Amino acid sequence: MLSQRSDIELINDLKGGSRAAFHELYARYSDVIYRNILARVNSSFDADDIFQEFFVQLWEKRETIAITSSVKGYLLIWLKNHVLNTIKQEQMRERYSGEVEDAADDYSWVKIVAEDLDVQIRRIVEKFPPRLRCVYLMTREEHLSVKEIAERLSVSEQTVKNQLTDVLKRLRKEMSRKNFLYSL
């Protein structure tokens, strides 16, 4: 049963944390609020979510409500903004989820190509003379510097540089001969 208290009195009580005032406002305005939401979103499923969020937000922000005239007008304007924000958030979510899926697809493609390229390079490197293969593996897989490779192999740094140049020339030549997508 609805009380005879004014909407402004109910809002003032709501600001003080009165659950009874909240229930009274809900009873007075829930039908109008729901119909307005449904008119804007055309989906009862979405309308139910927005309706619930609206009243939760009304309770959570009760202390900041500043109404001096029409409670109904205030609630409907708040509702309009809430619906628009909800729609905007959903559009953003849809837009970015599509971009994330595209990025994931791009990443998968790049990963497949990179793995294939790695397999092809390994096959080419396996055919190199042992010393060139060793230099290539030290620089690419062990991530050793020219100086470190020279020390390990007991050769000059210039010799290692020359061997790396030879390795890269051979790789480029083989890759272009096999028509690879990328060249080193």
Using an 8 Å Cβ cutoff, are 146 and 136 in contact?
A: no
For residues 87 and 20, state if they share a domain. yes
End-to-end CA distance of the chain: 81
Domain containing 22 equals 7-97
The encoded tokens of residue 37 equal 């939401």
Question: Which pLDDT value is given to residue 125?
Answer: 86
Question: Which pLDDT value is given to residue 100?
Answer: 60
For residues 30 and 82, state if they share a domain. yes
Measured CA to CA, the distance from residue 76 to residue 58 in angstroms comes to: 12
pLDDT in tens, 81-108: 888 888 888 877 777 766 666 666 666 7
Q: How many domains does the chain have?
A: 2
Measured CA to CA, the distance from residue 94 to residue 77 in angstroms comes to: 26
The pTM assigned to this predicted structure is 0.49
Measured CA to CA, the distance from residue 145 to residue 105 in angstroms comes to: 35
pLDDT in tens, 104-123: 666 677 777 778 878 888 88
Tell me the longest C-alpha to C-alpha distance in the chain.
Answer: 99
